[in-house]
């Protein structure tokens, strides 16, 4: 059964097919220049900062350095620090940028919450609640879709984590996409349903669209659909907490999980675990306000998925009738922006957590992060600059500025080492670095002693950040030159560096 919804009546100008002029038929125009736009803004901002700092000229002397003897050690240090006005200006600019972004984000959220326009924001809380006011559609039920391509190694554990939940899902469906291993057989042996994709050439999104075309028409208004990766295990209580959220808030259209990394994989695994712990902490500080509805595990009301499918090709990029945009490399990020664009209310609660697979080698991690980065750029390019995408544009600009800042910092250290005959300590900058290190340790405290030790050493994680920065630059270059993006996969049982099954 294929969904072929019509365009909302009276919503657009009349035409041969009812589409508005300039509806998402121009995909790719902004996609190709989004990298150039971001790079130009970041470089211009860095150039202005450099000019501001260089106005007074650098101090090239170390005459004020002092010799101090501590036991048998001879230490040189320079007590100079930036002028107080410069420090205060830097703090003020940082606070202004953070406050400005927070105010804009809050204003956008408030506008969506107050909207009663089913045309412009059909998923706005008041619109959704108005449609189901006074109607009891039954208890919340959960239908789980697990997209799987050759996932025989991890699928049994994923299904087991679902069946061990305190609130067990009513249905578990494995969406088998072009599988050549034992995925289908293992799913059937585990007692769950299987939907096999037919002629799918559009990866995970295409397989999910085929499954949702069958599943969505069967869903009631108070049912929810969960999409989770086949290499992920839910922590106990995940579904129970999510169902409580949906039951308590009729306006809520989606609940996303917070993900933590599995154990193992040595140093590269610890880098990723620290990264995920910091992201979860950031979500806690945002009080669950969603940045991305993670593909590892997220739940949706049917009204949200149906509305997205109806809006594709009209007010959202993609093909009318598809829930997922098959042109998007990062379908979870794109779906999040789609729901935000339609005014939907989402949350990532702290009690909805999962443990997901980590990349075991630098090569597979590079491929994964390059897909994430390229997908993020393509998503904001497809949507353009809108209230719903401002936060994502700001993130990309912030990452770009961080690339320049960290590169300059490490470059300056190397230059100093090569230029001076003796190392000179700068107490002011040591103090700043100490505070920075303390923050990084506190941010991963929940991860145990290994996480804390890695954060305390500082430089290993800085070099990991440089690795991610290189991924960012590669993504900018690829999209700017119009290079075709590739979807690469990682086999669970393959040796490190062997590309195959799923790298999601």
Per residue of the chain (504 residues), what is the pLDDT tens digit? 333 333 444 343 333 344 443 445 444 446 667 877 887 887 887 777 677 666 655 555 554 555 554 455 566 666 677 777 777 877 887 788 777 777 777 777 777 767 676 778 899 888 888 877 767 767 889 999 999 999 999 999 999 999 999 999 999 999 999 999 999 999 999 999 999 999 999 999 999 999 999 999 999 888 999 999 999 999 989 999 999 999 999 899 999 999 999 999 999 999 999 999 999 998 888 776 778 888 889 999 999 999 999 999 888 999 999 999 998 889 999 999 999 999 999 999 988 999 999 999 999 999 999 999 999 999 998 898 888 888 888 888 888 888 888 888 888 888 877 877 777 777 777 888 899 899 999 999 999 999 999 999 999 999 999 999 999 999 999 888 877 766 555 444 333 333 333 334
Contact 409, 416 (CB under 8 A): no
**Among residues 504, 363, 383, which one has the least CA distance to residue 28?**
383
Which DSSP helix (H) or strand (E) runs through 99? helix 84-114
Q: Which residues pair with 333 in a beta bridge?
A: none
Q: How far apart are CA 192 and CA 172, in angstroms?
A: 6
DSSP codes of every residue in 298-316: EEE-HHHHHHHHHHBTTTB
Helix, strand counts (H, E) of the chain: 15, 13
Angle at 259 between CA 257 and CA 263, to 5 degrees: 150
CB-CB neighbours of 182 under 10 Å? 14
pTM: 0.83
């Amino acid at each position: 059964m294929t969904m072929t919804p019509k365009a909302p009546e009276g919503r657009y100008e009349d035409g041969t097919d009812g589409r508005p002029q300039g509806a998402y038929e121009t995909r790719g125009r902004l996609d190709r220049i989004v990298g150039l736009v971001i790079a130009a803004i970041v470089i211009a901002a860095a150039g202005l900062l450099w000019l501001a700092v260089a106005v007074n000229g650098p101090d090239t002397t170390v005459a004020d350095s002092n010799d101090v003897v501590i036991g048998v050690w001879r230490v040189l240090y320079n007590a100079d620090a930036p002028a107080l006005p410069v420090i205060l200006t830097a703090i003020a600019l940082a606070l202004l940028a953070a406050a400005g972004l927070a105010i804009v984000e809050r204003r956008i959220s408030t506008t969506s919450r107050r909207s009663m326009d089913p045309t412009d924001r059909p998923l706005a809380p008041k619109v959704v609640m108005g449609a189901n006011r006074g109607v009891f559609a039954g208890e919340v039920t959960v239908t789980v879709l697990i997209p799987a391509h050759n996932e025989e190694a991890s699928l049994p554990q994923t299904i087991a984590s679902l069946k061990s939940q305190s609130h067990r899902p009513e249905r578990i469906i494995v969406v088998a996409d072009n599988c050549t291993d034992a995925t289908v057989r293992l799913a059937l042996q585990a007692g769950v349903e299987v939907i096999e994709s037919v002629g799918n050439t559009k990866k995970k999104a295409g397989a999910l669209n085929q499954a949702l075309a069958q599943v969505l028409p069967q869903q009631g208004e108070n049912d929810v659909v969960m999409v989770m990766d086949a290499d992920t295990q839910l922590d106990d209580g995940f579904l129970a907490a999510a169902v409580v959220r949906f039951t308590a808030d009729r306006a809520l259209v989606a609940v996303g999980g917070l993900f933590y990394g599995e154990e193992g994989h040595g140093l590269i695994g610890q880098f990723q675990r620290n990264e995920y712990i910091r992201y979860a902490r950031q979500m806690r500080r945002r009080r669950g306000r969603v940045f991305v509805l993670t593909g590892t595990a997220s739940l949706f009301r049917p009204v949200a998925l149906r509305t997205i499918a109806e809006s594709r090709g009209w007010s959202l990029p993609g093909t009318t009738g598809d829930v997922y945009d098959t042109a998007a490399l990062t379908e979870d990020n794109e779906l999040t922006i789609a729901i935000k664009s339609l005014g939907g209310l989402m949350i990532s609660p702290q009690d909805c957590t999962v443990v997901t697979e980590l990349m075991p080698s630098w090569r597979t991690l590079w491929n994964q992060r390059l897909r994430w980065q390229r997908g993020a750029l393509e998503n904001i390019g497809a949507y353009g600059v809108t209230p719903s995408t401002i936060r994502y544009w700001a993130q990309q600009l912030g990452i770009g500025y961080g690339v320049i800042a960290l590169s300059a910092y490490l470059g300056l250290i190397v230059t100093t080492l090569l230029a001076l005959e003796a190392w000179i300590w700068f107490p002011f900058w040591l103090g700043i670095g100490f505070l920075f290190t303390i923050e990084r340790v506190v941010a991963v405290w929940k991860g145990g002693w290994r996480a804390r030790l890695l954060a305390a050493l500082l430089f290993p994680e800085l070099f990991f950040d440089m690795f991610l920065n290189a991924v960012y630059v590669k993504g900018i270059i690829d999209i700017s030159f119009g290079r075709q993006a590739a979807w690469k996969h990682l086999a669970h049982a393959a040796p490190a560096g062997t590309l195959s099954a799923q790298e999601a």
